[in-house]
A and B are shown apart, each in its own frame.
Chain A
Amino acid sequence: MDTIIQGKAYVLGKNIDTDQIIPAEHLVYSLSDPEEVKMYGKYALSGVPIDQAGLPEGKIPFVEEGEFASPYSIIIAGPNFGCGSSREHAPFALKVAGAKAIIAESYARIFYRNCVDGGFVIPFETAQPLNKSIMTGDELSLDMENNTLTNLTQNITYELRPLGDVVNIVQAGGIFEYARKNDLMASTEA
């Protein structure tokens, strides 16, 4: 696991639900066929109402029309990110589009578990509403060893809440890797 993630910020509001992250009509694509998987990148965050997409200005799509990947790798959001359905397609779509980490005030439980146990994106929490100060397109640097986020564009550093209990699963890269390391499941290697 890299300890520093650097990339551009994509800023969202509160209560971003899984229908906004990946609208239900796109759930029909295969999660394993490489050609179909690309569609999850194409439609990631496509359900966010346009005036809420890419704050503070809005009207900035996460993935440009005709593209399959996003130029933004760190998502900044308010409270209750990922509420709604249990669909793992949601963190998966964010990963396929190129997101590496999310920094939100809080998460819905199922989404949070999915991010961690599936090893898709790393969900950090922050006590401050960072989506009020960070602007879409700002260059950010996330230091996972020290739990800090630096806004290189605005030259400000913020403290993040440590990952706590789940840091071992995040470091292992998901629940299966963690379980194998800790002898919680029989090794499946031939």
Chain B
Amino acid sequence: MAFTPPKETYIGRVHAVTIGVGDKTVTFGGENVLPFHTFEGIAPNRPVIAYEIQDIPPTDWPENVQKPYEGVSNDPVTWAKFCQDVLKVKAIALRLIGTHPDRENRSHEDAARTVRDVLSAIDIPLIILGSNHTEKDAPVLVAAAEAAKDRNCIIGKAQEANYKTIVAAAMANNHKLIAMSELDVNLSKQLNILITQMGFDRERLITDPMCSALGYGLEYTYSVMERIRLAALTQNDIAMQPPMLGDIGMYVWKVKETQASETDLPHWGPAEERGMAWEAVTAMVLLLAGAELLIMRHPKAVEVVEKVIEELI
């Protein structure tokens, strides 16, 4: 029996989103096929991996992922320059974790200053993230968006509880925006609709359906992403067509598997390789589910994921 490849045609397309300015912009999304299915459609842009840095020293990160940034991570500007100039990264994600009331409770003015300082030191695209405290994120991200005006950054994350102010700030200052909801296809769609109803261009949105780490609910993120992507492509659901974010690092580097020492758990093998593998495997699997933008921490994990992306495109 002759074999006819059962190829699919899709009616929808994921938006392409470009961030940054000048000759250092990056673009992700834009495909009209399931992830890496270039045998039946077009995927013009490869996924982008941004390196995570933060406004305060990463003392809460496990030692194995602090190490690559030893000597530079005490200051966000030095850290950002190290990523750009030494690691040659394509984009940076600055998390303003120090603004969280349970952390250093830094003010929105402090946050704006950090954003300005980092932006004046780099020319690659920047993603600016709050501390995921819905109340505090509103003033912090408004100040950050103003400080980054016209640098075409991504601001995030807007959630159901605080999206109005953040959307307005992203709109007024010409940024892209991450809309995050918690592991639910319908909530994700609803938030995208609410945001576009405010007049925000839907082609400037990025969806974060909420990440989870390998072994800690990854299958939920995986299936939610697959379902969102299928709705975008096979049903041409315009509210589901923004590219998706996998905010990998912060979920991966707090689980036991990336922290426990080999002395405590000899059958798990060395912690350093284990941590890198945990982050890289989580990232790879979410790329297969449909993520186009990843935020990661360990340079070695990013390096191997990039190598496999090279093979996939």
Q: Is B a genuine binding partner of A?
A: no
